[in-house]
Structure 1
């Protein structure tokens, strides 16, 4: 007897759709990374990441076909130039995989938590397990090569204490208490993520075919640079250690390995990840000055992402995500 499965819910459809789009983009990016990678230790990890993206696209394609859901266009051969020269260093490839692996672990966990159908929950569980394997292998290799950026260290506490002073939450001016471990951790992660984004945006600005789009990437680079400076100040104020600010190398190539469409979509996706990271940082930060700082960058990144979406729409590159029926439009058709 064939089990009858319920329809895919809106949450499941949204997660599957965005995963499909993201993996078609990843295939393009990883193919060029693999084509230009020089370090023989890194190539197997790039191949593994590429195989996982192909697997995700194939499984979601099969599911959508069975459910009679149209496949998104996503990205393909027209969006990558495998003959283009190397744009980023091999170190960038590893840092990129580390950053995207962390993002994948978070997104697949969320996707499973909002999915009801057993087959879809199992699918996201599989994707999460694959990402965990990839993340661990890449992290171990980064540590072996001395490239892994650890969160700042603090002294171990020597006793348990309770907060008794309402000034613990701090203010916007005047003396503020030392940073908590979780506040330091989020500052460190956001510095690292901003540094990766800066490197990618610098490379994109160098090869974009459109001056307007190139300028957009340059603006994003400057925004990331300001973020790193501000977050570093917060750590330095308390004499805390801080992550390396060294940027991975961008070559002198001006030959675009990716289409402007792909690079714009990639940048918007990175902006969405940044917004999510800052939301988590706000939830974990009890000092008011940190909260205000993060809120300010949420507004700036939100405006930046909106501008990127406008450019995508102007060029006819913005693929509409699944949405509910426009009832008002249907009613107006009968008038």
Structure 2
């Protein structure tokens, strides 16, 4: 890769670093999925996802070497047990790829939009294109197998209208107007995200080596379950449809396919994704009760993520992200 000036910006370094860490974790997870999948139609999709993750690591490593930036440790062979028995079903594999594909599309589009250097923009476009292909292939297979979770349906509007009554914004008690299409969409998406999270957490709690970490995963499962129930209540109040649950797709295995370190980092990453989803939902939900619900869970998931980060720090597992120089610490060295 040809060297370009100016230097890589802080935003570009941050997104590249996060991508490297995430893909190194993804390689461990996908390697286990590939060896344990029983569905030959899913296998090539997992292989494509795995190949893409390796491609990301290669290109980011080359760029970091060129710029003199340390390559993250991330995750490796020590974090995955390829001899472990199957923990999740093939349907879970597809839904996991669907969820992570959606997250990747959001992340890479944002990364490109905040990147200045042409070579970095091209890199994120490459990652986006690969993720788009993965998402489409996986979505097509899910639809063919009847396991694709669609956003709830609604009756089509019959005419264009304007809001003339401030009560449209609603209150915390009393009668509330029907949900907007965008509000239904966010409730549906957050139910599905909560389902993905709690399924993974229930499986992780089943195989974690540390009781403290197992209890932490169970706490996250309970939080995800309550969160999903609250979102579903909002849809049921309007007689809207809602996504199905799928906790039964966890096997009875107690053999850990992944290290406690990897599962804990994965959980914190999912918490961060959830917090981002809540922020977007708050920004687009006009009913006050919905905004309050999202704010409540934003705080709860934030506190849960902080607890997980402290456990990682206690074990020496929290790899420090890139940061600017601490000028105050440098100034105090001479005193």
TM-score class, shorter-chain normalisation, is over 0.9
Counterpart-to-counterpart distance in 2, 1:232 and 1:290: 12
Give the C-alpha shift of residue 4 in structure 1: 4.1
Matches within 5 A, 1:105-184: 105-184=105-184
Please list the CA deviations of residues 71-108 of structure 1 after superposition, one character each: whole Å capped at 9, or x if unmatched: 10000000000000000000000000000000000000
Counterpart-to-counterpart distance in 1, 2:308 and 2:280: 23
Q: Is the 8 A contact 2:199 2:246 kept in 1?
A: no
Partner of 2:242: 242
Q: Provide closer, same or farther for how the CA distance between residues 305 and 316 of structure 1 changes in structure 2, counting only shifts above 3 A.
A: same
Counterpart-to-counterpart distance in 2, 1:147 and 1:173: 37
Give the C-alpha shift of residue 206 in structure 1: 0.3
Give the C-alpha shift of residue 246 in structure 1: 3.2
Q: Is the 8 A contact 1:89 1:248 kept in 2?
A: no
Partner of 2:205: 205
Partner of 2:5: 5
Counterpart-to-counterpart distance in 2, 1:295 and 1:149: 25
Secondary structure, counterpart of 2:124 in structure 1: helix
Residue 290 (str. 1) matches residue 290 (str. 2): yes
Q: Is the 8 A contact 1:196 1:247 kept in 2?
A: no
Counterpart-to-counterpart distance in 2, 1:200 and 1:29: 12
Counterpart-to-counterpart distance in 2, 1:204 and 1:4: 43
Counterpart-to-counterpart distance in 2, 1:92 and 1:211: 25
Give the C-alpha shift of residue 294 in structure 1: 0.2
Counterpart-to-counterpart distance in 1, 2:51 and 2:326: 38
Q: CA RMSD in A?
A: 0.8
Give the C-alpha shift of residue 5 in structure 1: 2.1
Give the C-alpha shift of residue 242 in structure 1: 1.3
Q: TM-score, normalised by structure 2?
A: 0.99
Counterpart-to-counterpart distance in 1, 2:332 and 2:134: 51
Q: Which runs of 5+ in 1 are unaligned?
A: none
Please list the CA deviations of residues 301-321 of structure 1 after superposition, one character each: whole Å capped at 9, or x if unmatched: 000000000000000000000
Counterpart-to-counterpart distance in 1, 2:266 and 2:139: 23
Counterpart-to-counterpart distance in 1, 2:82 and 2:203: 16
Give the C-alpha shift of residue 248 in structure 1: 5.2
Secondary structure, counterpart of 2:249 in structure 1: coil
Counterpart-to-counterpart distance in 2, 1:292 and 1:260: 34
Please list the CA deviations of residues 10-65 of structure 1 after superposition, one character each: whole Å capped at 9, or x if unmatched: 00000000000000000000000001000000000000000000000000000000
Q: Is the 8 A contact 1:91 1:248 kept in 2?
A: no
Give the C-alpha shift of residue 331 in structure 1: 1.1
Q: Is the 8 A contact 2:97 2:135 kept in 1?
A: yes
Aligned residues between the structures: 334
Counterpart-to-counterpart distance in 1, 2:172 and 2:111: 37
Q: Is the 8 A contact 1:33 1:93 kept in 2?
A: yes
Partner of 1:29: 29
Give the C-alpha shift of residue 245 in structure 1: 2.3
Counterpart-to-counterpart distance in 2, 1:258 and 1:202: 14
Matches within 5 A, 1:208-227: 208-227=208-227
Q: TM-score, normalised by structure 1?
A: 0.99
Partner of 1:280: 280
Counterpart-to-counterpart distance in 2, 1:326 and 1:181: 46
Partner of 1:257: 257
Q: Is the 8 A contact 2:198 2:224 kept in 1?
A: yes
Please list the CA deviations of residues 281-310 of structure 1 after superposition, one character each: whole Å capped at 9, or x if unmatched: 111100000000000000000000000000
Counterpart-to-counterpart distance in 2, 1:138 and 1:150: 14
Bigger Cα displacement from structure 2, 151-160 vs 239-248:
239-248
Partner of 2:58: 58
Counterpart-to-counterpart distance in 2, 1:93 and 1:294: 28
Partner of 1:189: 189
